[in-house]
Structure 1
Amino acid sequence: MKLFFYMSMMFSLMLFLFVMVLFFNKDMIMVEWEIFNFYSLDFGFIILLDWVSLLFMSYVLFISGWVMLYSSNYMEMDKFKDRFYILLILFVISMLLLVISPNLISLLLGWDGLGLISYCLVAYYQNFSSYNSSMVTFLSNRIGDSFLLVSIFFMMNYGGWNFIFYEYLEFNFIMLMLIILASMTKSAQIPFSLWLPMAMAAPTPVSSLVHSSTLVTAGVYLLIRFYDFFIIYVNQFMLLMLLFMLTMLLSSVSALMEIDLKKIIALSTLSQLSLMMMMLLMGFKELAFFHLLIHAIFKSLLFLCSGVIIHDYKYYQDIRMMGSYSKMMPMISCYLNISGLSLCGMPFLSSYFTKDYVMELLLSENNINMMMMMLYYICIGLTMLYYFRLIYYLNFSWFNLSSLYYFIDNKWLMMNSMKLLMIFSLIFGSIMSWLFLDNMKIIMMDNYLSAMIYLMMLFILIKFLEKYFYMVELSMSEVKMFLLNMWYLKMFFVNNIIMMFSVNMNYFMEKGWGELLGSQGIYLMYKNMSMIYQIYQFNNIKYYLIMFIMMFYLIIYLYLYSLKSV
């Protein structure tokens, strides 16, 4: 694993230097391998190396290297850790294949690879919860795969699948809608939001990689690649803008009600993904891409911190059982606070340079109505709320596990793998805005408008400091069930869709024709053949005598028939 870490760090640095050259020279490199040509349809493999793909690859390799180093300490006592490392490396390779592919068919290879390997990783612990979560994850991603396959058939009308060559061509609206729906399934937007928190059944290093730079970001990256095509129809996608805003609200409210540490961080990922999709529909392609990169840094750090916390609390993930963590592990608590404040968009941390700018752009745009504006403000406020709730339970509440308990601070490799990510969570937003966002618009606003969001954060902080704020129980049971079940998405998908698949497959495959054509049919065939063979073995004298008599009568018959013919 150290070899993979050193190689990924070396390639990440080389790719970042190469990005500088391509970006400032406004250049790109394309490598094409034509496999065959069939009736003017080109079947080939293309590698696109521009500054967007190389920068994203650099990030993926950088984060995956640190996650792999972290995993060597996190999974050292696991019996199947070699299989885990192989699956993690294949997962990274699938993402890199998706990033460099400007061809829909080769892109589908990386897209399907992400879905299949994520199924194996979510089901890694092989218990009932991980099996159900992996099935929901796999089936939800297969819906997006089917949308992408249909868009491939639509694209046959254009003579090939290399969409990078069709810069000034207006694509079919239905095909673009299918691509957006495929991106929504991968990025877990409503109504496909359920699989994202359920995928937390995977090991924590997998969650860190999935929610920062690989699986969930694939949908946003695909929309960035197709940005020039669907921006023409942006006025017809305003319903999707409302869906993205509702997904932000859903994830924020669900995180406020959640008690599982990893699911709270996963729901914050869902909120940030909705923000990126909303940026794209508003026309801010570069801003969405940089928020994607900055989010990858602090979200991977958040998950790595949560893995250390879960180890320290003997694999408990219920935040009500935790407490007094800042006194026991001050460095991990410091890392968690820095990444969490960056998530909230605290001034001059990494995420501030994109989230605050989006807020200013929303206030200056004329085509955004008041409802969208208020929803955005509410979602930002709820982000602060559930983060401070998490910090309250971790650091300021009473320790609710056994009184005979001690923390073992022997995770030096896990600690070292988080130091550079913590530094980048502090300074990387300013570095990226200085290097790449040189054409940002300067927006002059009134003082009360620019201070409104911080006044809302201050109000939420005051509410947080109230004595019984986190002890309030919802009196209406239906409202509580509605909020805890992600607006009944969980009940709808698990109780209807997944149960429908499992019951029908059980009926047809295990108790119907699938059983007879499959294992049971083969078993019955071998059983009948062995019984016939056994009868012959047990009655061999009798059957040999019968066969001798039959052969004797046959010889006599043939002899008489030959005499008759003569």
Structure 2
Amino acid sequence: MSAHFKINKQASMLMWTLFMLMAPLSVYLMLKNKTTLIEWVLFNVSSSPIMMTIILDPAGTLFSSTVLMISANVLQFSTIYMKDDKFIDRFTVLVLMFVLSMNMLIFFPHLMILLLGWDGLGLVSFILVIYYQNPKSLAAGMITALTNRIGDVMLMLSIAWTLNQGQWNILYMWETSAFTWQSVAILLAALTKSAQMPFSSWLPAAMAAPTPVSALVYSSTLVTAGVFLLIRFYPFLSSTTWFNQTLLLIAVSTTTMAGLSAMTECDMKKIIALSTLSQLGMMMASMGLGMVNLAYFHMVTHALFKALLFICAGTLIHNHMHSQDLRWMGNITTQMPTTTSCFMLANMALCGAPFMSGFYSKDMIVESSVFYSNNLIMLTIILFTVSLTSFYTIRFSLATIWGPSNCSPFIKLQEETSLTTPMLALSLMSVISGSTLIWMMPMNQEPMTMSTTMKIMPMIMVMSGLIAAWYMNTRQIKHVPLLMLTPMMHYASCLMWFLVPLSSQFTMKVPMYISHNYLKSLDQSWLEILGGQGVMSSSFMASNSMMKTFNTKPVNYLMMSSILMLLVLATM
């Protein structure tokens, strides 16, 4: 086993080394606000050069540093979480391939070369989701892969529609006759990768992957790839008249649906997945309101505290015999003090508690949306979803930290160094990253003058959600939450407002029926009769009848074989 751990520890050290190289570069580029483009021509198609382009800009290098730091902590955490796994070295290599794909997506602004990183993310995520090799994992992997395939196809179509520009560089795109189609294709590609409506059902399903994968993939890499693509393409896409309004509507719908579903979910990892979906909706909404820098800022801070939340959840799952049910946990304060502290820090950052990293990005998004003249309905829904976040966070904390323990008394809860070190490193980042970035990032934020009520509105919504959750979850059972009053409401909430059956089972029914009938009527009937099996059975019957008709003498056999030979020669 020591050899396996060695590979894993080396992988973690490799990530830390790359982070140490990338972090100073990103700080330098951020302070100088410089962008460097490196281009070389690979070959020419007619007069169109296919170029290998690498972009070194503050946004890309900072996000790459974040990904490398999170993956270093996750790989260290996996040495304990996956210690009983025989194939831990294979798992480590897959995670490293994932990080490589993400970095390719960040640093290659060329549509054709970007497709390598984009497809790499989809392929490796599928392999990681089906890692445990059981029917549930396979079903989840298929939903993940097939939904992401839609995005891949859209990206390929956008490459085809960009052909008449003579180049595929994201930074130099201009309006052509296929401009609207390009915008639609790129938007759809980003929506599938970031699991926005109506493609949301794959994200909670993909929680079938091992927890270290969830911590890396669903906090900072795969799901934010779509957001990052839109940030890169934003100057080109926002010149369409419909882009911002459409994105805002989809984002607000997603964040509300995810928040409501998380209120009734009992699977720990699914709650965090729905929380990620809600925050992705918040990023997309801020982009829909034209606040691209804030969307990027929230993406970086969210990656850090969400990875911390996943690692804390993974520690609890690891100590509770890999059970993910909230109702089986509770009272971890005394036995797991480090996990409890980090867990509470991550939850505070998620809710946007003052001076945590989430506060600087999330609060600014909400304040900016209040300050600038926007649609009142959209603004009301955004404020409502802020209260939903604190509601499901308090419910989560009540079940795991402050509630009574419901598990077996023979479970020993313990915290090892490989679990606490990543937690403490990410906790530090969850506290300081927001304030550090707001000082260092080259953002041109204009001063906002607003009344005291408007200023504290996000905090009021957070507190109202907190109080409502505390009241509903600590009172007697008669205070049933509104979403559980009727079976239909409860089913709707648990099935992501029927998005799961509508986007998976519903769409599969007709193709499944057609293919089943096709199998029975063609493959197993006509093709068998007319194909090799039918010919074999008919020739077998003919030879048997001939043998019965004629006497079984050697001359007869010779006659039959010679007649057969003549027939073959005649047909040839």
Residue 107 of structure 2: aligned partner: 100
Is 1:491 equivalent to 2:501 in the alignment? yes
CA contact (8 A) 1:63 1:297 kept: yes
1:472 matched to 2:477? The reply is no
Once residues 438 and 205 of structure 1 are traced to their aligned partners in structure 2, the CA distance between those partners, rounded to angstroms, is: 33
SS in 1 for 2:109: coil
Moved more, 79-88 or 207-216: 79-88
**Superposed displacement of residue 23, structure 1:** 3.1
Change (3 A) 1:482 1:38: same
1:564 corresponds to: none
Aligned-pair CA distance for 1:550? 6.8
Q: Distance in 2 between matches of 1:268 and 1:3?
A: 32
2-side partners of 1:68 and 1:510: how far apart? 48
- Is contact 2:151–2:188 with CA below 8 Å preserved after alignment? yes
Task: Return 5+ residue gaps in structure 1 as ranges.
Answer: 536-540, 555-566
SS in 2 for 1:33: strand
Partner Cα separation in structure 2 for residue 417 and residue 263 of structure 1:
22
Aligned to 2:288: 281
Among 450, 459, 469, which residue is 2:455 paired with?
A: 450
- Give the whole-Å Cα distance in 2 for the aligned partners of 1:8 and 1:81: 17
* 1:220-248 Cα shifts (integer Å, max 9, x gaps): 01001101111222555413311210111
Q: Which moved more, 1:447-456 or 1:124-133?
A: 447-456
TM-superposition CA deviations, 1:345-393 (whole Å, max 9, x none): 1000001111111121111111x12111110111000000000000011
- 2:152 is the counterpart of 1:145: yes
Amino acid of the residue matched to residue 443 of structure 1?
M
Deviation at 1:42, TM superposition (A): 2.1
Match of 1:81 in 2: 88
Closer, same or farther in 2 for the Cα pair 1:157/1:481, shift >3 Å?
Answer: same
What residue is the counterpart of 2:438 in the other structure? 433
Partners in 2 of 1:101 and 1:69 — Cα distance?
28
1:13 CA drift (Å): 2.1
Distance verdict in 2 for CA 1:143–1:550, change over 3 Å:
closer
Q: CA offset at residue 89 of structure 1?
A: 1.3
Residue of structure 1 in register with 2:25 after alignment? 18
Give the C-alpha shift of residue 49 in structure 1: 1.8
Matched residues in 2 for 1:122 and 1:181: separation? 23
Question: Deviation string for 1:55-98 (max 9, x for gaps)?
Answer: 21111111111111111221111122222112111111111111
Distance 2:555 2:39 in 1: 70
SS of structure 2 residue aligned to 1:257: coil
Q: Give the distance between the partners of 2:437 and 2:76, measured in 1 at CA.
A: 25
Could you tell me the TM-score, scaled by structure 2's length? 0.87
Alignment of 1:355-504 (within 5 A): 355-366=362-373, 368-402=374-408, 404-409=409-414, 411-437=416-442, 439-466=444-471, 467-468=474-475, 472=480, 474-504=484-514
Which residues of structure 2 form unaligned runs of 5+?
A: 1-7, 545-552, 567-572
Give, as a single letter, the amino acid of the residue that structure 1 aligns with 2:498: Y
Secondary structure in structure 2 of the residue aligned to 1:45: strand
Q: Secondary structure at the match of 1:32?
A: strand
Of 85-94 and 490-499, the range deviating more from structure 2: 490-499
> Any idea what SS the aligned residue of 1:193 has?
coil
Partner of 1:538: none
Deviations 1:304-347 (A, max 9, x none): 11111011111211111111122221210111110111011100
- Shift in alpha-carbon separation, 1:420–1:542, aligned structure 2, 3 A: farther
Aligned residue pairs: how many? 543
1:155 aligns with 2:162: yes
Change in Cα spacing, 1:407 to 1:543, as seen in structure 2 (3 Å) is farther
8 A contact 1:144–1:185 mirrored in 2? yes
**Structure 1 contact 171–229 (Cα < 8 Å) conserved:** no
- Determine the C-alpha separation between the residues in 1 that align with 2:152 and 2:525: 28
Say what the alpha-carbon RMSD is for the aligned residues.
3.1
- Could you tell me how far 1:399 is from its partner in structure 2? 1.7
Is the counterpart of residue 113 in structure 1 residue 116 in structure 2? no
Deviations 1:465-490 (A, max 9, x none): 32427761623222222222111111
Which amino acid counterpart does residue 407 of structure 1 have in structure 2?
K
Q: 1:542 to 1:420 in 2, by over 3 A?
A: farther
Q: Which residue of 2 aligns with 1:559?
A: none
Identify if the C-alpha distance between structure 1 residues 410 and 230 changes in structure 2 by more than 3 Å, giving closer, same or farther.
closer
Structure-2 separation of matches of 1:310 and 1:205: 11
Instruction: State the alpha-carbon separation in 2 of the partners of residues 316 and 86 from structure 1.
Output: 26
Aligned to 1:59: 66
* Post-superposition offset of 1:159: 0.9
CA-CA distance at 1:440 after TM superposition = 2.0
Q: How has the CA–CA distance of structure 1 residues 513 and 42 changed in structure 2, closer, same or farther, with 3 Å as cutoff?
A: farther
Measure the CA separation in 2 of the matches of 1:16 and 1:3. Answer: 20
> Distance in 1 between the 2:158 and 2:453 partners?
47
CA deviation after TM superposition for structure 1 residue 44, in Å: 3.1
**Judging changes above 3 Å, is the alpha-carbon distance between structure 1 residues 20 and 399 closer, same or farther for their aligned structure 2 residues?**
closer
SS of the residue aligned with 1:76? coil
Mapped contact 2:387–2:462 kept (Cα < 8 A)? yes
For residue 370 of structure 1, what is the amino acid of its counterpart?
L
